[in-house]
Amino acid sequence: MKTKFNGFLTLFLALVVQISFAQEKTISGTVSDESGPLPGVSVLIKGTTTGTETDFDGKYSIKAKTGDTLIFSYLGYKPSEKKVGNSSSLNVILEEDSNVLNEVVVTALGVKRQAKSLGYGVTTLKATELNEVRATSTLSALAGKSSGVVIQNQSGNVGGSQRILIRGISTLGGNQQPLFVIDGVPVSNSQTATGSRISGGFDFGNRAQDINPDDIETISILKGASAAALYGSRAANGVVLITTKKGKKGSKASVVVNSTYRFDTPLVLPDFQNEYAFGTEDANGVPVTDTTIPINGDPVTGNGNPGLAGWGERISDLVSAGRTFTNYDGTTSSFRAFNNNVEDFYQTGTTIVNSIAISGASDIADYRFSLSHNDQTGIIPGSGLNRTNLGVNSGYTISDKLKARTSINYIRTNISGTAAAGANDPNVLTNIINGLPRIADINIFRDFVDNDGNQLNNVGLQTNNPFFVAFQNAPTVTVQRFFGNSQLEYEPIERLNFLGRAGYDTFTDTRLLVNRIGTLGRERGRFTDDIINQRELTLDFIASYNFDLNEDFKLSLRSGVQWNERVFERFSNTGTNLTVPNLFSPGNAEDNVPTKDFRRRRIFGVFADVSLDYKDWAFLNFTGRRDSSSTLPIQNRDFFYPSVSASVVLSDALDIKSDFLSYLKVRGNWANVGNDTASFLTTFNFTPDTGFFGQFGTGGNFPFDGNVTFNSAGVLPDADLVAENQTNVEFGVEFGLFNNRLTVDATYYKNSTKDQIVNLPTPETTGFGAFLTNIGRIENEGIEIELGAKIIRTDDFSWNINTNFTTNQFTAADLGGLENFQLVTGFSSLSVRAVQGGELELFGTGFARVQDADGNDIDDQILVNAQGLRTPGSERSFGSIFPDFTAGLTTVFTYKGFTLSSTFDYRHGGVMFSNTVGQLRRSGVAAETAANNRAPIVDSEAFMLDANGDAVPNTIEATPETFWNAFASATVPEGNIFDATFLKWRELSLTYSFPSSYLEKIPFTGITLGVQARNLAIFLSDVPHVDPEASLGGAASNLQGVERGSVPGSSSVGFNLNLKF
């Protein structure tokens, strides 16, 4: 009995020891390198999905059993495996990896691949790189940080559009924006205009602004056709691939609170003269300021403003003479200059962004919940934006073979007071603010309406009070958007995987544009109620299988189908002649013109992807996709496009082990991609007219005299239209030097897109204005270089630099026999055209030139008339609207807990036209118009004809007003054309992360406090008075390089606080 008892006791003790040995315990420690702690290091229990990450101070904590192996991995470092022993403390020092090509990047369809296996160029930016200075828009965070990518802010309106171009434009007639993909599902980046940009339209932004930057884990920019081919015809302009944040497997629940407060002021304002009053030169060229009628005109006699804003007499002389004038409010006022009257119209805007994110995970589930609120007050009085983002991202492991994931995002955006672009009365800047006399007190206009709602203190007989326009006629916009996706991933056997995914994106954009009763030019009132609904459904089914052919070769197969449907609906009603003031409904309008637009398009694609890996240093990839598009004729709606890419890591293949050459990789690819057209362009469509245009309120509305008119696009469709076809060739080299202290990625590419779908002009005798057909070929050829340098690395201090350079040459290689093709027309004779054998150029009327014996203009010899003034000449090209090259620079300094980062964005070359500059000069308020005490001006850059008819340098004097009205002519744009070169200081931030020794005493795992600024300054710009980045066209418009009455961009300075617990 005793023996049995001893045996049982021994067995029991052994069992207790074994159970105790197998019990989990908390392992903690610090992960560092030779310079100090490493934040964000992945800590994973080998053979499981349980893991965590190190915090700001490199500390981690994870539950594991004795005998488990922990894998520590971090980008740019060699992975380290450590076995858990009896101790609960485990510190690890990681060594830098000489082969940074082991980095994993997200590629097409959300597939993760090692960077070294890619045969094409991809730029990947992480959350830390995107949010050094917290952005309110995803595209803002990209500016200057990637080669081959140009981000352009169209205006300073809150919620205004931003244009992104990847390797130039690949289509003359279609959308040039890249495809946006979030977690594998395409989403909309559309922009729908309201009103004409030229005559006064509104920029309410493109939908990429809805994406919450705080939710982004990485952004991968797929630039070439080979990189994007699997996404089909929609990816002809590249792909912006966004991966969102998720809960980390095995990590405990964490809360992140991020708060930002910034002040916004105009970045660039005109430089005004403050010496001369309103007036004009008399017949003898003598400035005269007429004070016999009110400054804003005489409503009794109908006499308008007494002269232009700034061509009158010297203000000091008027003061000395004791003269007075009748002011805008009817009072008698003395003359004085209000130096800051335009600056004081703008207000200091504010940006307040608060967000909270809660995330966590267990062994079988993960989750992340985010809530963000963005409250902005614009620099235009009465303007503002209010946006709320709500996001949920969760995953669940149903079994060893089945996983599920769902992501849901809801966004509500309210915008008010957006200032119109273009000209005429909707724009508060054109002819109102930028044309005010220097003696105008802006505070007079702040009293803009009486108790009965009547407008007070108007600028002119047909020019509204700017504050009346800003507050009484402020447009309002409400956008409600929902997008998300759900997917099931099934792995019946090892290495065989099936993925089913459904993505949905829908939004409703409700707009109200008003002209209240009493608006000059529309005294009886007018409104437009616009409701836009877009929805997109994408269904994917993808099968993949990976296996080893032998010890050297590995094969990866992937195939699938994709179905995509996009629907656009728009209902709009324009009502005129209101009965009850401020009631903007159809029942309160005498005349209503409703319109409805409906468009639907579908694409069905079948694709395959084959990848071959040889010894982990040579890689070959083939893809093919066949799309069927509903927007093309039946016989041409199916099109196939293949791609092939290869890469070789020579440093591994040749077994190069050197401190000098850390790694060397070469790559190349060839790809073919199609691009279809928009809905219903191959059929005839008719829409009702709502009005006809007239300058400054002289137009009219339909119904007119009880009649309704309909308008067709006037385009004859080609019954045999085919998809555009793009061929891409790309070669690249990547290498690292000095243990990867210096890394270089260089790419050469050439894209050729034929069968351009364009509206070809036709003779009016055909009954149509254009013929929609395929013509010609355009090309983009360029070089991209990305360079990273770790200049200094010590225990406490580091200095890193990342820079990029891009040059892209656009060429209209074949225009089907045309000398040039007009993409879009503007005003003042301006147009953007593709030139046979040339570029995308800005055309317009130029100044008259001296001519040679054959009657040809001599370009560098401008001819003046007998009065010494420039006159209209022939039409000419002013140059390309694209820069010759672009560059970006980001530099980051760290010292202990401090981080100082800065980003610069440079664009060299290209041209732009500024109507604002011309207007300021013609009205005599620009600073340069007061030069030399307004002595007579000799146009020294021009020539005149002598008595023999020969061209000689000009010596004829002209009065300042006549000179500037000819030089900055409203009908001859050449004088308002400028070199568009500029250098922008995009970002600056200084942050401090509190050390762990401090955090141990409080309930936070991380505290970061920062000062940050965005768009600090512009350098190297020859464009006066306006931001050279401003543009009249929207995100998807070809009307680039043209500025007219744009809202100035804003410069922001503020604070940021990030808390983790």
pLDDT in the model for residue 809: 97
Q: What percent of the chain has pLDDT over 90?
A: 64
Q: What is the percent of the chain where pLDDT is above 70?
A: 92
Q: What is the pLDDT of residues 319-346, one digit of tens each?
A: 999 999 999 999 999 999 999 999 999 9
Please give the helix or strand (H or E) that residue 239 lies within, else none: strand 239-244
Residues 6+ apart with CB under 8 A from 258: 134, 214, 353, 354, 355, 356, 357, 1056, 1057, 1058, 1059
Q: Tabulate helix, strand, coil % of the chain (nearest 5).
A: 15, 50, 35
Average pLDDT of every residue of the chain? 89
Tokens of residue 457, six digits: 């203190």
Q: Indicate the pTM of the whole model.
A: 0.88
The separation between CA 282 and the C-alpha centre of its own chain, rounded to angstroms, equals: 49
Q: Is the model's pLDDT at 410 over the cut of 80?
A: yes
Q: Fill in the DSSP letter of residue 1045.
A: S
2 pLDDT above the threshold of 50: no
The 10s digit of each residue's pLDDT in 158-185 is 988 888 999 999 889 877 889 999 998 9
- Whether 726 and 672 have beta carbons less than 8 Å apart is answered as yes
Whether the CB-CB separation of 522 and 697 falls below 8 Å is answered with yes
Q: What is the Cα–Cα distance from 679 to 599, expressed in whole angstroms? A: 6
Low-confidence winner among 551-555, 978-982, 997-1001 (lowest mean pLDDT): 997-1001
Q: What is the mean pLDDT of residues 804-809?
A: 98
Residue 730 has pLDDT above 80, yes or no: yes
Per-residue pLDDT, averaged over 1034-1041, amounts to 70
pLDDT above 80: residue 120: yes
* Tens of pLDDT, residues 743-796: 999 999 999 999 999 988 888 777 788 889 999 999 999 999 999 999 998 888
Among 398-402, 660-664, 679-683, 949-953, the least confident range: 679-683
Per residue in 428-479, pLDDT tens?
887 788 889 999 999 999 999 998 889 999 999 888 999 999 999 999 999 9
pLDDT at 100: 56
What pLDDT was estimated at residue 552?
94
Which pLDDT band holds residue 6 (cuts at 50, 70, 90)? Answer: very low
pLDDT of residue 299: 81
pLDDT for the residue numbered 996: 79
Q: Which CATH number fits domain 22-97: 3.40.50.300, 3.40.50.720, 2.60.40.1120, 3.10.20.30?
A: 2.60.40.1120
Range name among 4-13, 456-465, 670-679, 968-977 with the lowest pLDDT average: 4-13
pLDDT at 734 exceeding the cut of 90 = yes
Stretch 976-1001: mean pLDDT: 92
Tell me what pLDDT residue 4 has: 43
Stated as kind and residue range, the H or E segment containing 319 is helix 315-320
User: Bigger pLDDT: 524 or 262?
Assistant: 262
Summarize pLDDT for 523-582 with one digit per residue, the tens. 889 999 999 999 999 999 999 999 999 999 999 999 999 999 999 999 999 999 999 988
Task: Please report the pLDDT score of residue 692 as a whole number.
Answer: 58
What's the pLDDT score for residue 165? 92
Q: Which residue has the higher pLDDT, 25 or 690?
A: 25
pLDDT for 659: 83
pLDDT digits (tens, 9 = 90+) for 921-965: 999 999 999 999 999 999 999 999 999 999 999 999 999 999 999
Q: Residue 10: its pLDDT value, please?
A: 43
pLDDT value at position 425?
64
**Residue 850: is its pLDDT beyond 70?**
yes
Residue with structure tokens 């700034």?
310
pLDDT for 251 equals: 66
Eight-state DSSP code of residue 2: H
What average pLDDT does range 678-683 have in this prediction?
A: 80
pLDDT band at 131 (very low <50, low <70, confident <90, very high): confident
ω into 703 cis (within 30 of 0): yes
Q: Looking at residue 154, what is its pLDDT?
A: 77
Lowest mean pLDDT among 415-429, 577-591, 750-764, 1020-1034: 415-429
SS (H, E, C) 117-138: HCCCCEEEEEHHHHCCCCCCCC
Label residue 1045 by pLDDT band (50, 70, 90).
Answer: confident
What per-residue confidence (pLDDT) applies to 5? Answer: 40
Query: Which fold is adopted by the domain 130-267+349-426+473-839+882-910+980-1060?
Result: Maltoporin; Chain A (2.40.170)
The tokens for 216 are: 């982004």
DSSP 77: B
Please identify which residue in the block is written with the tokens 């050469």. 748
Query: Taking 90 as the threshold, does the pLDDT of residue 53 lie above it?
Result: no
pLDDT score, position 677: 86
Q: Which of 54-58, 89-93, 220-224 has the lowest mean pLDDT?
A: 54-58
- pLDDT value of position 21: 40
Asked if domains 22-97 and 130-267+349-426+473-839+882-910+980-1060 share a fold, the reply is: no
960-967 and 915-922 helices, crossing angle to 10°: 160
* Residue boundaries of the structural domains of the chain: 22-97, 130-267+349-426+473-839+882-910+980-1060
